[in-house]
Structure 1
Amino acid sequence: MSEGVSTQPQAVPDGAHTPANVIVGVAGGIAAYKACHLIRNFTERGDSVRVIPTENALRFVGAATFEALSGNPVDTGVFTRVDEVQHVRLGQEADLIVVAPATADLIARVATGRADDLLTSTILVATCPVVLAPAMHTEMWRNPATRANVATLRERGITVLEPAHGRLTGKDSGPGRLPEPDVIAELARTVAATGPFERTLEGKRVLISAGGTQENIDPVRFIGNRSSGKQGFALGDIAAQRGAAVTIVAGNTDELEPPAGAEVVRVRSTRDLEREMNERAADADVIIMAAAVADFRPESEAGTKLKKGTSDDALSTIHLVENPDVLKGLVAKRDAGETDATIIGFAAETDHELEHGRAKLARKGADMLMVNSVSGGGVFGQDRNRGWLLAAGGGEEEIPDGTKHEVAVRIWDAVERLSR
C-alpha cells in the first residue's frame, strides 16, 4: 500500500458531498490499475466503497490492494458469504455502481443480462445509477457487436461513458483508452445527481471557449485573470457524453484533462482566441463563449524584460488598448449568415448581477447568457458554480449551487430546449 493513501472514508465539509454507498467494479483489462485511484477518489470524499472485481481483474491487481484501499472485503463469486446473499444485498444497498475498466467482454455480458459472477449479478439486481467506463483497443470499441451492446445498455438507462483518445496497450493509439480516474468519478457523481447521459447531441458540432486569456507586457509578465477553464471543460465533458463532436479553444487550462475525444486548440491572447473561434464558427451548431477574455492589452509588448526603478521605468505606466469583443463578433457573423449556430455567452459580475447581465445580453445579441457572481473569490478556480441563465426572449432560470459538471448539465438542457 502506498504511503498517504487513505483506507477509510474521510470527513468532508458540510454541504460539499453527501456520503454514498459506491460499488467499484473492475473488469480484467490492463487499465485495472487505474481503479485504485478511482477508489481513493471516492473514499477521500467520504463514500463507503465496496470493490467487486472479476476473476480476470485479479490477474492485474490483487484482492489485498483493493481491500486495503476500500477498507472492505473483496469477493468475485456468488458462492462466498452465501448467508449474506451478497449479490442481492449489495445491489439493493448501492447508491452508485461504477465499473472501470469495463472491457468489451464485461459490456457484452451486462448487455445480455448475464449473472455469472458477483459483479454482473449485482448490476442485474441494482436499481441505482450504473456507469461503465470502457477500456479496450480501438478495433474492439468500433466493432459492430460492441457498438450494439453499448447502444442496448444506453437504451436501458445505463451510462456508458465515451472512452478517451490516446496511447493504448503496446504501440497502438486511438479511442478506447480509459478516462482518467478523477474524470470518471466526477462524471459518475454527475450521473447520480442529474440522471444518465442521453445522446441528445448526437451529430451536433459544438465549439466552446474556455479559460482565461493572457496579454503579454514583456517576456515574463502578462495581464490576465483567475479563470481556470473548469466550467468550459465541464461543458465540453457533458457535450461529448451526449454525443457531440466537441472543439475547445482553450486559454490558460494546462492542468485540466480534455473531454473524451475533444479537439483542444491552445491559445494565449484574446486575439488568438478570436481568430480560432472565427475560423471554426461556420461549422458549429452551438457556440459557447465560456472563456474569461482579457478586455484590454498593452499597447505594445516589450521585447526584453522591463526593469523597475530605472530612470525610464516603463512598468510605472502601461498604456492599454481595447481587445476585440469576441462574443459580439460571433453574433455579427451569425447575423451576416456566416454561421447558423446557437450562441451562448457568459458574464462574470461582482454586483447587481442580474441587472448587468440583462444589459450585457442585450448589448451582445447572444441567444442566452450565463451570469455568475464572482464576488468574494467565487466561481473562478472553484469546483462549484451557481448563477442565472438569461434568454434573449426574456426568460430567466436560476441555476442552483452545484458542481461545474452539474451546472453544465443544466446549461445544456436549456440550450437544447432553445434549439428545438
Structure 2
Amino acid sequence: MILGRLAWGALVLGFAILLVVTGFSDWQAREFNDPDGAFEIGYNPIIKEYTPPNSFYPLFPSNAYLALGLQAATSEKPSLAIANIAQALHENPANAEAAVLMLRLFMLPEEIIKSTNFALPPQQLIDAVADINIKLRPTYESTLSTVVEYRSINQQNEKTIQTLADLLINYRHYADQAFPIFHIALNDPELSRILQPYLDSPLPWLPAFFRYLLEHETDQRKIQDYYVKRLHSQNPPTQQETLSYINYLIKQKQWAIAYEIWSEHLNQSSSFNLALYDGGFEDTENLNQTFGWNFRNSKEINIKQANTSGTDGKKSLSIAFKKGDSIVFRHIDQNRLLPQGEYSFTGKYRLGPLKTSNGLRWRVYCVGENNRKIAETEAFKGYNQQWQTFKADFTVPDNCEVQRIALESDSQYAHQNLFQGNIWFDKLSITEVQH
C-alpha cells in the first residue's frame, strides 16, 4: 500500500515538474490535437466513442501508449489503462488527451471499480491531476467540462464555480448547467465571495446570467442587491443588462424606480419627467426603450429621424407611407410619468402631402387596465407647405401614474385607414399649465 502511494506520488510529482517543458513538446501536443480536444488520428477521448487508430507515429510513442490506454479502458481494465496512460505522459508530458483520460478513469462508476478491483489513488493526487488538466489546456471544452464534472462530484464548490466561469467564456451552451449553481452561490455568503470576482469582470456571459436571475429569482430585493453591487463594481452593468432590469421593474409595476434607473442610464436627472423625452427627435441611440421613442417600421411604413428644412435642430420625425393595404397606424409611442395636474401638449408638423380620409392624431392614454384616453390632437391630413403648430390641453387624474403618448390612425375602420404620402413632426413638448 505504501509503495502504491509512493508510486502515485512520484508519477504526479514528476508530471507536474515536466509541465515546464515548452517548445517542441508543446508544439507536438498542439499538432496532434484539434481545437475541440479530439485526437486527429482516429480516436476520441470520450471512452464510449473510441475507435482504434489506423496507424501509430513511431517518432511519438506517447500516441501508441495512449491508444493502448484507451483500448484497456474500453475493455474495463482500468489498472492496465492507467499504466499505459502514465507511460504516455512520461513520453510526452504535454499530452493533454492522456491527462484528461486519466481523470476520467478516476471517475469510473463505483460498480466498475469494485468489479475490477481497481485501487484509486489518494484524493489529493486525483485533485492534482485535475489541476494539471487545467494547466495543460485552460480553454479546451473537453478538458474544462471533465474537470467541472470531477469537481462537482467531489463537492469542491469553489473550484467548480471557478472552472464553470472559465468554461462559459467560450462555451455558452453550458449556461443551463452553470447558472443555477451561480444562482445558489449568490445566496451563500462563502460561495458569493468566490463568485464576486467574476461578477466584477467584463465577462461575455454576465448579461445572460442577469436575465436568468430576472426570470428565476423571486425576491425583488436580491435582484436589486445584485444590480447595485454590479453598479458600484469595476464592471458596471452593460446597456443590455440595464434595459433588462428596467423591463423587469416595469413588469413588477415599479415604474418610478424603473424611470429613475433609465434617467441615470442617460445621465439625466429624473426630475426632467415633465418634459417629453427628445421632442426634437435628435437622439438616434436610445430608441425602442420604455421611456423613449418606440418606432415600429413595416413594409408599408418608413419611420426615421431625418434632416429636413425648417427644423429647430438637425433632425425631425419623418413618416412615409407607401400606397398599399389599409393600415391601422399605432407605430410610434412613448411612456411618461406625469404627476396629477393640467398640461399642454404642443408641437410642429408639416404635410407633404398626406393622402388619407381621416388622418392621424396624437393621443395621450393612462396606462392601465382600461388604457383610458385623456387627450388627443387635431387630425393631420392633406397638404401644407410650411410648418404649422398644434396644441392639446389635458388633465392627468390622480389615478394615472403612467401615461402613453402615441401617434395613431384617427379611425378604427379599415376603409378609412388608407395612407399615401409623408408627414413630419418636430419640437414636441409637454408642459405643466400654471394658474
TM-score range, shorter chain: under 0.3
Look at both structures and tell me which one has the larger radius of gyration over its CA atoms. 2
Q: Which is helix-richer, 1 or 2?
A: 2
Q: Which is strand-richer, 1 or 2?
A: 1
